[in-house]
Amino acid sequence: MRIDVVTIFPEYLDPLRQALLGRAIDRGLLTLDVHDLRAWTHDVHKAVDDSPYGGGPGMVMKPQVWGEALDELCASGTPRLVVPTPAGRPFTQAVAREYAAQPWLVFACGRYEGIDQRVLDDAARRMPVDEVSIGDYVLVGGEVAVMVMVEAVARLLPGVLGNPASAEQDSFSDGLLEGPSYTRPEVWRDLAVPDVLRSGNHGAIDRWRRDQALARTFHRRPDLLDALPEGALDKHDRAQ
C-alpha cells in the first residue's frame, strides 16, 4: 500500500515512523510519503489560506495550492483521496478494513476552517473522494485524524501485526466491544483474576469472554448491538 499525506505541518506525522508502523515501513509493507503543501506555493509568504467568501471567522485553504499539489501527486494514477473533517462520514473499523484493501491512499490535512470545497469537487472528477470524521469534537487540523486512520489501516495490512489473529479478535472485529483482559499476578491489591480464565476450559473461557463483550457493549455502546447483522447473536447471547 502506498500512502501520501499532504499537510502544512509535515513533522506532525513523524510519530507514524516509530514502533510497529515504522518497522512495517522499513520492511516495505507500506510506503508513507509526507508532503509540505507549501511546496506548491509561489509567493514569498507561501500563503495557503485566505478569508472566507460570505464572511465569518477564520480562514479557508486556497484552492490553487491544493489543486497543484493533488495534480502532481495524483498524476500517475487514481488514488482514493481521504479528507478528515468533522463533517465527514464516521471512520469506523469497517472503513479501516475498506481502506486496507486500497492500493493507494492520499490524505489531505485541512487546517483553519477547512479546504475550499472546489478542491474536493474538482478531485472527485478524477478519483474517489472520501470525507471522514474520527469523532464529534473539534480539532485544530486533520493531522491527528490522519495518524489515527493510518494506524488503524496499516495494522490490518498482511505482515504488519506479529499475530494476524489479533486483528480478528480486537474490539469491533465482531461488532462488539472487547471485554476485560488480565495477566499475572493472579491477585493484585486483593483483586483476583476471574477463575474461569485460569480454568484451562477453553469453551468456558470463550463463552465468558463473549458474555463480557456483550455486557460491555450493552452498557457502553448499545448502538453497536442495534447495528449487528441479522443472526449475529445466538440464543445464548440473546439470553444475556
Residues annotated as catalytic (active site), given as ranges: 86, 113, 155, 170
Counting every residue written for the chain, the total comes to 240
Residue 142 makes contact with ligand JBK by CB under 6 A: yes
Instruction: Please tell me the distance from the alpha carbon of residue 123 to that of residue 116, in angstroms, as a whole number.
Output: 12
User: CB of residue 137 vs ligand JBK: minimum separation in angstroms?
Assistant: 6
Residue 135 makes contact with ligand JBK by CB under 6 A: yes
Contacts of 188 (CB under 8 A, 6+ apart): none
Instruction: Please tell me the distance from the alpha carbon of residue 5 to that of residue 150, in angstroms, as a whole number.
Output: 10
Q: Which of 7, 85, 212, 217 contacts ligand JBK by CB under 6 A?
A: 85
Which among 134-142, 167-175, 194-202, 216-224 is the span making contact with ligand JBK, rule CB under 6 A?
134-142
**Residue with Cβ nearer ligand JBK (69 or 145):** 145
Instruction: Please tell me the distance from the alpha carbon of residue 61 to that of residue 69, in angstroms, as a whole number.
Output: 13
Residue 102 makes contact with ligand JBK by CB under 6 A: no
User: CB of residue 26 vs ligand JBK: minimum separation in angstroms?
Assistant: 28
Q: Which of 92, 93, 102, 133 contacts ligand JBK by CB under 6 A?
A: 133
Residue 86 makes contact with ligand JBK by CB under 6 A: yes
Where does this chain bind ligand JBK (CB under 6 A)? 84-86, 133-135, 137-139, 142, 145
